[in-house]
Amino acid sequence: MKLEGSVHSPLAPSELWDALRDPQRLADALPGVRLVDVLDVQSFRAFIEPATGLGVTPFELDVRIDDERAGEHVSISGAGRSGEQLVELEVEIDLSGRADGTAVEWNADVRFFGLLSSIGQRVLPHIAADMIESALQGAAQAEPV
């Protein structure tokens, strides 16, 4: 599923970038997300529990930074598994400096495999979009370190 959106942050691009690149701060900003392990500077593992009307489907998600230009752009890919269900995602995030902060444009390709793709095909786009937006909002509202 193709998703996209935009977020405004009062932070300057460099401050927002620092927040985005800190997995722990991102995890703290997201309800139902727990950072499991920082694997290296480019990758981490998180445990997420997205809730749908049909219940909670916990996922262990491996996330990797594929490409980045500090303060401007980051490409992220992820793959997760929950029993028989799989999720794959690619997210592109672009930051643009504005007088009042930073404009964040994002788009994502999220693919679900297994019964979840059937059960969740109506609700998952909204949940996935909400989670991405929440992560970006959390970073956008973070206090500069």
Partner 1 sequence: MTDTLTEPGIGTGTSWQGQSVPRKEDGRYLRGEGAFVDDLWMHRMGYVYFLRSPYAHARILSIDVSKAAAMDGVYATLTGEEVAELTDPYFQMAPGAANGMVDYCLAVGKARFMGEPVAAVLAETRELARDAAEAIEVVYEPLPLIVDGVATAEPDAPVLHEEIGTNVAWTGLYDYGDIDWALAQADHVVRIPHMYFHRFSSTPLECNAALVNWDPGTDTIDVKSNIQMPMFASMYMGPALRIRSDRIRWETQDIGGGFGIKITTYTYITAIALLSRKAGRPAKWAETRSEHLMGSGHGNERTFLDIEVPVMADGTILGFSARAFDDAGAYLRYEPLGAVIWSHVLVGCYRFKHVRVKYTETLTNKVPVCPNRGYSRLQHLWMVERIVDLVAHELGFDPVELRKRNYVQPEDYPYEVPNGCVYDSGNLPLSLDKTLALIDEPKWRERQRNAPPGKRIGIGIGSTLDSGTNNFGQSQIINPQLPFTGNGEAAIAKLGFYGEIQISLGTVPQGQSHETTAAQVAADVLGVSPDDVDVTAGFKSLQNAYVGFSGTYASQFAVTGLNAVAGAAEMLKAEILKIGAFALGAAQSDLELSGGMVQVVGDPERAIPLAGIANLALANVAALPDEIADTTSLTCRYVYRPPFEVVDTERKWGNISLTWANQIHACVVEIDEATGQVTILDYAAVDDCGIRINPKIIEGQVHGAAAHGIGGALHESFTYDEETGQLLNATFFDYHAATSADIPHLRTDYVESPSLTSPNGAKGMGEGGGAPLHAISNAIQDALADTGAVVTHAFNPPERIYEMLNADHAVRGVEVVSR
The rounded distance, in Å, linking the Cα atoms of 26 and 35 is 9
* Residue 117 binding partner 1, by CB under 8 A: yes
* Closer residue to partner 1 in complex, CB, 38/119: 119
Q: Output the smallest distance, CB 33 to partner 1, in A.
A: 21
Q: Output the smallest distance, CB 112 to partner 1, in A.
A: 7
Cα dihedral sign, 41-89-70-26: negative
Q: Which of 33, 41, 32, 25 is nearest to 143 (CA)?
A: 25
x/- site string to partner 1, residues 74 to 113, per CB under 8 A? ---------xxxx------------------------xxx
Cα dist from 6 to 15, 108, 134, whole Å = 18, 12, 11
* Residue 114 binding partner 1, by CB under 8 A: yes
| Phi, psi torsion values for 33, nearest 5 degrees | -125, 135
Q: Output the smallest distance, CB 66 to partner 1, in A.
A: 18
Q: Which residues contact 17 (CB under 8 A, 6 or more apart)?
A: 70, 71, 95
* Residue 35 binding partner 1, by CB under 8 A: no
* Closer residue to partner 1 in complex, CB, 34/122: 122
* Residue 115 binding partner 1, by CB under 8 A: yes
* Residue 121 binding partner 1, by CB under 8 A: yes
Question: Rule CB under 8 A: which residues touch partner 1?
Answer: 54, 83-86, 111-115, 117-119, 121-122
